[in-house]
Amino acid sequence: MSICHLQVSCQPCRLGWLLIAADQQGLRALLPGDDPQALREDLHQRFPKAELQPAGPDLEECLANICHWLEKPCGEIPASLPLAPTGTAFQQRVWQALRNIRAGQHCSYRDVAHAVGQPTASRAVARACAANPLALLIPCHRVLRSDGGISGYRWGVERKRALLAEEQQLNA
């Protein structure tokens, strides 16, 4: 599937920078990082044939809502646009399972593998988490090692640790 036009916006937030991208189907990417140019390069690698355009008002509002949530977390992150991540059938199943993990909760890669009907696919689940194009909205940061420890995170272990700590405080 090729994407002809992709609206893009990038804004500073408490996590550093957030880049958001959408097309007519919905949100394609929400990427946190330290450098807006590196985020644009990541987006280009994910969508090499996309023609990038400035975000329209709906996408700008969606990003503003997400950044506002990051300042004062309360429950789930609002996404006013539909999620439309691009991935394999297995990745889609994993990402859907991740969306069922509520703020303040966590599970292991093995738990997710069981949830998608592939109990021996823990490593494949970890790869699907690393390929997740919609950080925060598809909460792969809520997946931990079987021993409860924090393992790698595509967007930095410190971001993962901070997100988990904030979500834990919501449920305290």
Tokens representing 172? 């305290």
Question: Would you please indicate which residues are annotated as catalytic (active-site) residues?
Answer: 140
What distances in angstroms separate CA 154 from CA 7, 27, 31, 136, one per listed residue?
A: 23, 19, 10, 12
CA-CA distance, 86 to 141, in Å (whole number)?
Answer: 19
Query: SS3 for 88-143, per residue?
Result: CHHHHHHHHHHHCCCCCCCEEHHHHHHHCCCCCCHHHHHHHHHHCCECCCCCHHHE
CA-CA distance, 103 to 96, in Å (whole number)?
Answer: 15
Say how many C-beta atoms besides its own lie within 10 A of residue 37's C-beta. Answer: 10
